[in-house]
Amino acid sequence: MLIVKDPLNTVGTHIGFRDVGPSDSGITRKFKVYSIDDAFLLGTISWAGRWRKYVFSPVVEYQTIFEEVCLNEIAEFIKGKTVAHRKSKGVVTIA
């Protein structure tokens, strides 16, 4: 379950999401995904134009592993941000 702490920070069971500002285009946002225990960077979430939604990109410099709770929370966060972005643009989403 995700909890919005403030406009820039959302936390889950073991991971957190931090809004790090606008994308290069300025239309969408970028987010860092980190471990709550030690603030270890796990990856980023950003808009992928070809997918027309937010996507998660794990850090590639080292191996990251995720269990089902973290993966579900990443998916929940991505879905929420994608839906919010589409609503802000007046796009109707069929789920």
Mean pLDDT across the chain:
93
State the total domains in the chain. Answer: 1
Q: Is residue 93 in some structural domain?
A: no
- Which range of residues forms the domain containing residue 23? 3-88
Considering Cα of 58, then 64, then 70, then 71, what sign does the dihedral take? Answer: positive
pLDDT on residue 90: 80
Q: Is residue 30 in some structural domain?
A: yes
Mean pLDDT of 65-81: 96
Q: Is residue 69 in some structural domain?
A: yes
Q: Is residue 51 in some structural domain?
A: yes
pLDDT confidence band for 41 (50 / 70 / 90)? very high
Residue 45's closest CA among 88, 16, 65?
A: 16
Is pLDDT of 95 > 60? no
pLDDT on residue 93: 62
Give the SS3 label for residue 25: coil
CB-CB contact of 10 with 3 (8 Å): yes
Q: Is residue 38 in some structural domain?
A: yes
Q: Is residue 28 in some structural domain?
A: yes
pLDDT confidence band for 91 (50 / 70 / 90)? confident
pLDDT on residue 92: 66
What is the pTM (predicted TM-score) of this model? 0.90
